[in-house]
């Protein structure tokens, strides 16, 4: 969030310093080593560094102490009972209050519970200069964060004064050229908008995943159901794809935080609770689907394609691949895995003698009894199934993202198994 937002603001012409409390991370950034993989980000950073608009440091420093806006972009991990841990937000606010030398905005980009900006307000009240706190949540998708920054659906600003809203409008003005994108509201509504947005998207995913299990049980085809449901303009087709469950740093954390927020105010968030449970169920459903089709797990090898929770990122946090790999390993199945970017992070997350992460995708399938697609990277979308069949010991292909055409898989003398897909349905394709 901070790296993309700060770099994006520099690209808009602003002078930006990105501050991190980890000196080693700052050193690596200054040495040209990015801590994350995000398409197009590295070139953008280098261009703005050369232009003198962007730099990295472990402290604000004298020149930036008179900044007009301080953005708080720290993590808010899941704490006790599912609540969001906002300790880092408060620590950042305290630091800003100690260094600011002229009146400024403190913009909270972190995803925080309703009322957090009020507490930040109280923490900066004793600063030497007047600091006004605003809510400015981010809506950047991992894997498409740079594109999202420059072409946002909306820019939400929660402010208590017209002056604060006006300043952020000016800051984001270059993103407004094609139309109005800034929504100015009160701070509490702004904070809730972020949670509501993520929970709503997670609900759509989980509902389609539940329908995929129903399709599996009844013989219906999830592709046909998706097209029929999505054709309703009140619903639309986005986020209606069945798969192994959602993951990442946002949906799991934010759904739980919304549940906890509701509980703290005596308002049960039943749909959010069901969404969380359905997501856990889906991961285990896909794992059992693989194990059931595999048969006796003794001496079996399963190849996994895709370890990141989604394409175009190296993030494995809450990735369905973690759950499914552990299920296989716990049953004595050996796992050979590949991911274009996330292999190193995956091996750090799972240390098991039965797990092997390889550098080339087809090498994972060599001598495997089954191939399971878990992340729909572009490089996996049109594989050579004949080559896969030649390399594999077995013939099972599990398409947990429903991106392959069953007929193409079957022509290579492979068994196709999708998530809620009926290969014999008249629809018979991805649409």
The 8-class DSSP code of residue 108 comes to E
Q: Are 306 and 377 in contact (CB under 8 A)?
A: yes
Beta strands in 222-322 (DSSP E): 301-305
**Calculated CA dihedral for residues 28, 33, 34, 37, nearest 10 degrees:** -150
Q: Report how many helices (DSSP H) and strands (DSSP E) the chain contains, helices first.
A: 17, 13
Neighbours of 100 (CB within 10 A): 22
- Residue 179 to residue 151: CA distance in whole angstroms: 11
Whether residue 370 contacts residue 337, with contact meaning beta carbons closer than 8 Å, is answered with: no
User: Which of 207, 237, 149 shows the shortest CA–CA distance to 431?
Assistant: 237
* Location of structure tokens 């089709």: 293
- Find the distance separating the first CA and the last CA of the chain, reported in whole Å: 34
Question: What sign does the dihedral 400-405-407-411 (CA atoms) show?
Answer: negative
Q: How far apart are CA 103 and CA 108, in angstroms?
A: 16
117 in catalytic set: no
**Element (H or E) spanning 398, and its range?**
strand 396-399
DSSP string for 142-196: TTSHHHHHHS-S-EEEE-SSHHHHHHHHHHTGGGGTTS--EEEE-HHHHHHHHHH
Question: Torsion-angle region of residue 263: left (phi > 0), alpha (psi -120 to 50) or beta?
Answer: alpha
List active site positions: 250
């Amino acid at each position: 969030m901070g790296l993309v937002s700060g770099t994006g603001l520099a690209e808009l012409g602003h002078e930006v310093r990105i501050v991190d409390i980890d000196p080693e991370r700052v050193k690596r950034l200054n040495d040209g080593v990015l801590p994350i993989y995000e398409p197009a980000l590295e070139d953008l950073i280098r261009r703005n560094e050369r232009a003198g608009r962007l730099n990295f440091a472990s402290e604000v420093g004298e020149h930036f102490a008179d900044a007009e806006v301080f953005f708080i972009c720290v993590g808010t991990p899941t704490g006790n009972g599912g609540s969001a841990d906002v300790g880092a937000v408060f620590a950042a606010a305290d630091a800003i209050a100690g260094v600011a030398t002229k009146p400024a905005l403190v913009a909270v980009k972190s995803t925080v519970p309703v009322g957090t900006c009020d507490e930040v307000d109280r923490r900066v009240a004793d600063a030497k200069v007047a600091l006004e706190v605003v809510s400015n949540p981010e809506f950047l998708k991992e894997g498409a964060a740079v594109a999202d920054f420059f072409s946002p659906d909306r820019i939400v600003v929660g402010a208590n004064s017209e002056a604060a809203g006006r300043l952020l409008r000016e800051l984001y003005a270059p993103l407004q050229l094609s139309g109005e994108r800034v929504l100015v509201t009160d701070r509490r509504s702004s904070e809730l908008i972020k949670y509501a947005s993520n929970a709503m998207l997670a609900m759509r995913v989980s509902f389609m995943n539940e329908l995929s299990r129903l399709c599996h049980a009844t013989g219906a085809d999830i592709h046909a159901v998706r097209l029929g449901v999505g054709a309703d303009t009140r619903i639309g087709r986005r986020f209606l794809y069945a798969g192994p469950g959602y993951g990442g740093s946002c949906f799991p954390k934010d759904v739980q935080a919304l549940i906890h927020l509701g509980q703290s105010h005596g308002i049960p968030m039943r749909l959010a609770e069901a969404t969380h449970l359905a997501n856990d169920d889906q991961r285990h459903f896909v794992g059992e689907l693989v194990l059931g089709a595999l048969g006796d797990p003794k001496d079996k090898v399963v190849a996994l394609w895709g370890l990141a929770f989604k394409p175009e990122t190296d993030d494995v946090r809450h990735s369905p691949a973690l759950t499914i790999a552990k299920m296989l390993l716990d049953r004595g199945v050996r796992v050979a895995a590949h991911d274009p970017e996330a292999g190193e992070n995956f091996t750090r997350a799972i240390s098991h003698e039965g797990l092997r992460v390889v550098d080339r995708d087809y090498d994972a399938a060599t001598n495997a009894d089954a191939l399971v697609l878990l992340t729909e990277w572009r490089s996996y979308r049109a594989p050579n199934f004949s080559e896969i069949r030649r390399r594999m010991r077995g013939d099972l292909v599990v398409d947990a993202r429903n991106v392959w055409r069953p007929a193409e898989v079957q022509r290579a003398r492979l068994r196709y198994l999708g998530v809620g897909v009926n290969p014999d349905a008249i629809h018979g394709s991805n649409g």
